[in-house]
Amino acid sequence: MKKFLNDPANFVDEMLEGIYRAHPQVTYVNDDKRCLVVAKPKAGKVGIATGGGSGHLPLFLGYVGDNMLDGCAVGGVFQSPSADQMHEVTKYIDQGAGVLYIYGNYTGDIINFDMAAELADIDGITVKQVVGNDDIASSVVGEEHKRRGVAGIFFVYKAAGAAAANGLSLDEVTRLADKARANVRTIGVALSSCVVPEIGHATFSVGEDEMEIGMGIHGEPGISRKKLAPADAVVDEMMERVFAELPAGAGDEFAVLVNGLGGTPKEELYILFRRVSQLFEAKGSKVKYVWIGEFATAMEMAGASISVLKLDAELDPLIAVSVNTPFFAHYKA
């Protein structure tokens, strides 16, 4: 294991200490660094909370900030935070307008967020939930509820954050977040494993000349492991699956996220995007918004994912809203 760390047991908390020292826009509640919240919540606004395991920066906590999220319960590496922590975050960010939970479809997270919602209910806080399930490699059409949530949750955060910033009600924010969720699809490809600090070695392996299409961000198995192909061929195979579920016709508009899983240089992400853009162009569709970089990682895993959001008249202006968080700034041109 070649990592910059002290005691692996303190990996997450020392990382969080670094984050609080760097970014005074965020702070924590209940004397627990893992209960991260905005320093200045906006009065009357619907609160949006997320949460999940560490090791995915900037996911999840990196999106807490202006016009995005209000709080995040932070788990250990690849582990859910506790219901208790989610509950503490919920109490702080509730401004009387209720709280929306947006998180990924993993058993541990669901179990804990469900428990937290029960606890919040006892406090009289209305909680709604939208569970990201954008990874098309993780289950077939018709069984979408079994799909994992991966990088596409970025678009759900962005839509929901903008809706809440616009002063919409919890029901409306939830509806729009759920619409974004239903309109986004992601497919990933991994070239290497990653090392969980407390484990200390790679938890799985990918052969020297292999890639695995559809591998999850904790190393969950994908749909095919084969010889690494040229970038264009890899994108073609991935996008064929995306287009099968989100048809792209002449005049259709999309937002695209090309996400590095941690160990892949940005240069390569742009080579992937080049091909993605060509494919949309060939269909007469427009990529109206694009982000390329690291948005949801798996430590030092080499690989990438492509998330596609189909835009409509409601989602488009929400995606366009400027955002400013410690890990992500989007300036509307």
Partner 1 sequence: MDAIRADELIGLFQSWRDMFAAERDFLIALDGKVGDSDLGITMSKSFAAAYDTVAAEGAAAGLTKLLRSAGAIMAKTAPSTMGTLTATGFLRGAKALEGKDAIGTAEAAAFWRAYATGIAERGKAKLGDKTILDVLDPVAGVLEAQAASGAALAPALKAAADEAEAALERTKAMKAQHGKAAVFQEQTVGLQDAGATVGVFLVKAMSGYVAG
Interface residues with a copy of itself (CB under 8 A) are: 2-7, 11-12, 14-19, 21-22, 25, 54-55, 57-58, 191-192, 208-209, 211, 228, 230-232, 234, 262-274, 277, 287, 290, 292-294, 297, 299-300, 302, 304, 324, 327, 329-331, 333
Interatomic CA distance for residues 88 and 77, integer angstroms = 20
296 binds partner 1 per the rule CB under 8 A: no
133 binds partner 1 (CB under 8 A): no
How many whole angstroms separate alpha carbon 270 and alpha carbon 231?
10
Whether the CB-CB separation of 72 and 60 falls below 8 Å is answered with yes
State the Rg of the chain over Cα: 19
> Which residue from 62, 65, 152, 216 is in contact with partner 1, where contact means CB under 8 A?
216
Residue 192 zone, left/alpha/beta (φ > 0; ψ -120 to 50; rest): beta
160 interacts with, out of a copy of itself, ligand ADP, partner 1, none, CB within 5 to 8 A per kind = none
Annotated catalytic residue 218 = yes
In the three-class reduction of DSSP (H, G, I as helix; E, B as strand; rest coil), residue 295 is classed as coil
Cα Dmax for the chain? 55
The pattern of x and - marking residues 4 through 43 that bind Mg ion according to CB under 5 A reads ----------------------------------------
107-136 mask for ligand ADP (x: CB under 6 A)? xx----------------------------
Q: Are 211 and 245 in contact (CB under 8 A)?
A: no
Q: Which of 280, 286, 282, 277 has the alpha carbon at shortest distance from 252?
A: 286
Q: Active site residue: 23, 56, 145, 330, which one? A: 56
Interacting residues toward ligand ADP by CB under 6 A: 107-108
